[in-house]
Amino acid sequence: MKKCWYKEGFVYQIYPRSFQDSNGDGVGDIQGIISKIPYLSQLGVSIVWLSPVYRSPNDDNGYDISDYRDVLPEFGTLDDLKTLIAKLHEAKIKLVMDLVVNHTSDEHEWFKASAKNDPKYADYYYWQPKKGNWTSFFGGDAWTWNEERQAYYLHLFSKKQPDLNWNNPAVREEVKAICKYWLDLGVDGFRCDVINIIAKADGTPNGKFTMILRGKEHYLNNPKIHPYLQALNEDVLAKYDCFTVGETAFIDIPSALSYMAGEKRELDMLFQFDHMNADCHLVKWFPKKFKPLNLKKPLSKWQNGLQGKGWNTLYLENHDQPRSVSRFGSDAYHKASAKMLATMIYFQQGTPFVYQGQEIGMKNANFDNLADYQDIETHNMYKMMRKLLPLTHHAMMKIVKFASRDNARTPMQWNNSNQAGFTSGTPWLKVNPNYQSINVADNLDDQDSIFHYYQKIIELRKQHEIIVYGNYQDINFKNKRLYAYKREYENEQLLVICNFSDKNCLFNIDFDYDNSELLLSNYHEHEDMNILKAYEARVYWKSAKTNKTSKK
Ligand code: TEU
Ligand code: CA
């Protein structure tokens, strides 16, 4: 297995709108991020993934880009961004930018010219005279009529996010030039938004009938994508010391390997979503009761499936997902369960990603009023599910509280002052009222906090190669409350045991405890070695040294 910095690193995702506001307009910005670099250093992360800060009319909070080479004035200037890159690098932190090239904004110059049928741009998007039947990721039709061009255009997301026609070589050259532009400015890689849907079948034929994403058989992992990504690599990315992580919706292991294990480089790692369905049917808008086994099954499937062939990402949250402690942890055991979840995920093989606020155990927004939610997906799904299913307002609000992307987007909780220290003005999205008890300042003061536990995990990953590169092996797989696994690497062994319940849990796992060290635990006292307390997690480490002595 090839060793490299992006496998050994720990990534921190910043959602710029909600991280830190520096000028009181209620919107987080680049100067705000710069002011928090010491915080990132203290946590110990080595890579930042920055969600989009490009020019955008903000229909989908920056995932609708109108200029790929400039910064949205609300966030600052290009100079601010250059300063951010320089200061992160000074602090030995790399920067990965979001590359959103499945679609642009309808306010991008390319789309405006394409709508006018300008010969240079006419084929930059998908146009057709008759309406196709594909449906959008945000609910509703994916084909919308354009008056100017007198044709329908494709948008797999909002109406203001027309899909780029990747089958047009000129579009692929544009993307290469954008990547080169940012790499030359010093960025260290890209998180490639919905990258496995960029290639569409010729003629964008109608899809077969399904409830979710009609038409998907014509674009999910379409084989044409491979030469496109290979060329992007060969012509641009491979010339820099950078990496890519693909966001890949509805992906299975064979398709994942088709991006990672071929002869030519395509994606270095990718985000799969199987474990995000541990508490829902197919998509989070159809909730079901959380069962630990439904988290364990997909995670272990991916650990085993990519072992020695590909490289995993390890995550529980991002800007599209509800908060993990609200989904898989416990309110009553907030601290213990947040730490247990971190142990469970970050001792696996792969590159870890932590989403802002996760390191202090931030929880779902839980707003009662629909008007308090800003997210376009939330409002679209609300309308659609009320109309089609149909659901009552009350029933639908329960689902919104559970699934809304705004659960992850409430402002970062820095301290217990007004607006949680996020802004001196009025925040664009309400602060979670629980900031009095969940915030960074308190976490920093408390040696036993979730923050300090994350700090320890990050430090341990730097010290022990086994955590990064070791093999993974499930233990007691069928146990419904316990998630346990072993890692092995060059005569070393790790044992990770996590209790997913609020009850004591007896475990009986064969391991050389006498010659091992308890590397980490979220409980200080262990009266009975064989019993895990509520949401307890432990990591035992048997070093190569003790291994040799014990053989004598
Ligand atoms: O998300 C892609 C994606 O699959 C989401 O639409 C997902 O289904 C949904 O957000 C779950 O709530 C990416 C970005 O991460 C997301 O923020 C963007 O809205 C989307 O692409 C369009 O760019
Ligand atoms: Ca601001």
Q: Please give the pLDDT value at position 1.
A: 77
Confidence of residue 551 (pLDDT cuts 50, 70, 90): very low
Instruction: List phi, psi (to 5°) of 273.
Output: -120, 5
Give Dmax (Cα) for the chain.
82
For residue 194 and ligand 1, the question of a CB distance below 6 A is answered with: yes
CA of 37 to the centre of ligand 2 (A): 17
Residues 409 and 375: beta-carbon distance below 8 Å = yes
Instruction: Give the Cα separation of 491 and 493 in Å (integer).
Output: 7
- Count the residues in the chain: 552
Verify whether residue 193 is a known catalytic residue: yes
pLDDT for 552 equals 36
If you average pLDDT over residues 26-41, what whole number do you get? 99
Q: Is the CB of 363 under 6 A from ligand 1?
A: no
- Spell out the long-range contacts of 56-62 with Cβ–Cβ below 8 A and sequence spacing 24 or more: 56/105, 57/105, 57/107, 57/160, 59/105, 59/158, 59/160, 59/161, 59/376, 60/157, 60/158, 60/160, 60/161, 60/376, 61/17, 61/375, 61/409, 62/16, 62/17, 62/98
Whether 123 is catalytic: no
Helix (H, G, I), strand (E, B) or coil at 359: helix
The mean pLDDT of the chain is 97
Model confidence at 549: pLDDT above 70: no
Is the pLDDT reported for residue 547 higher than 70? no
% of the chain at pLDDT higher than 70:
99
Q: Does residue 550 have a pLDDT over 60?
A: no
Cα distance between residue 450 and residue 444, in whole Å? 9
How do the domains of the chain map onto residue ranges?
A: 5-104+169-195+221-369+408-456, 110-154, 370-403, 469-543
Stated pTM of the model:
0.98
27 alpha carbon to ligand 2 midpoint, in Å? 4
Q: What is the mean pLDDT of residues 294-311?
A: 98
**Where would I find the beta strands (DSSP E) of 300-366?**
313-314, 351-355
Q: How far, in Å, is the centroid of ligand 1 from the Cα of 472?
A: 30
Please, what is the Cα angle at 61 between 372 and 436, to 5 degrees? 45
- Reduced to 3 states (helix: H, G, I; strand: E, B; else coil), residue 429 is coil
Q: How far apart are the first and last CA of the chain?
A: 31
Mean pLDDT of 153-163: 98
Rounded Cα–Cα distance for residues 263 and 267 (Å): 12
Summarize pLDDT for 415-425 with one digit per residue, the tens: 999 999 999 99
Q: For the structural domain made of 110-154, what CATH number should be given?
A: 3.90.400.10
For 197-239, the pLDDT digits (tens) are 999 999 999 999 998 899 999 999 999 999 999 999 999 999 9
Per-residue pLDDT at 164: 98
- 376 CB near ligand 1 (under 6 Å): no
Structural fold of domain 5-104+169-195+221-369+408-456: TIM Barrel (3.20.20)
pLDDT score for 135: 97
CATH code: domain 469-543 is 2.60.40.1180
Q: Which of 106, 247, 375, 536 is catalytic?
A: 247
The predicted-structure confidence for 94-136, as pLDDT tens digits, reads as follows: 999 999 999 999 999 999 999 999 999 999 999 999 999 999 9
For residue 271, pLDDT beyond 60: yes
Residue 185 above 50 pLDDT?
A: yes
